[in-house]
Amino acid sequence: MSFVIVKKELINRLSANITRLQEVYGYEVTTPNGWPIATIVRSDNENDFNTNTENMRTFAFRLTLREQLGQENNLSSIDDTVKERAERILDALTDEVIDYFDDRDNITLGGVIDFLEPIPSSGIYLQTPNGWERGAVIIIKAHKIKDIT
């Protein structure tokens, strides 16, 4: 198991099953092809002693769900109805993603990993070259036992 394999599986599953997303990118995209989008990038990894013949590898990814707010320079210039709409979209998307990965059939990514940790999330505002966005950051931790014999 590697970052490459797990990331590819996450992108494929998000693209195929979270239909509200216009695009899923494996990098921090500057100019997306529609909204809402998801970006998934590596966060960190751990390799812990499990037994005298196994290590537990953990690969963490930062999944950011993003919805455009507007091209204004100041967040305060964006109409409240636009902010509220983005909030509704991200709430529904976040629920859908968390529910998808909590499902028993998806928790191992089809056998690619042993299990996913329960997924925490937090809300953010992003100022990009294209204006302001509302986002939800979800940390996905994938675990795989590695035989070291």
Q: To which residue do tokens 């394999």 refer?
A: 5
Q: Is the CB of residue 29 less than 8 Å from the CB of residue 128?
A: no
Instruction: Find the length of the chain.
Output: 149
Query: Which amino acid is residue 71, in one-letter code?
Result: Q
* Residue 26's pLDDT band (cuts 50, 70, 90): very high
Model-wide pTM > 0.85: yes
| CA quadruple 90, 85, 39, 74: dihedral sign | negative
Q: Is the pLDDT of residue 1 over 70?
A: no
Pairing of strands 131-147, 115-116: antiparallel
* Residue 148's pLDDT band (cuts 50, 70, 90): confident
Q: Give the residues across from 58 on adjacent strands.
A: 46, 143
Average pLDDT of every residue of the chain = 91
Q: So what's the pLDDT on residue 120?
A: 87
Query: Which amino acid is residue 61, in one-letter code?
Result: F
Q: Is the pLDDT of residue 53 over 80?
A: no
Q: So what's the pLDDT on residue 73?
A: 85
Pairing of strands 121-128, 23-25: unpaired
Q: Is the pLDDT of residue 131 over 80?
A: yes
Rg (CA), the chain: 17
Residue 49 φ then ψ, to 5°: -65, 130
Q: To which residue do tokens 């990098």 refer?
A: 27
Q: Is the CB of residue 107 less than 8 Å from the CB of residue 1?
A: no
Q: Calculate mean pLDDT across residues 13-35.
A: 96
Q: Which of 123, 121, 122, 118 is nearest to 141 (CA)?
A: 118
Q: So what's the pLDDT on residue 10?
A: 96
Q: So what's the pLDDT on residue 104?
A: 86
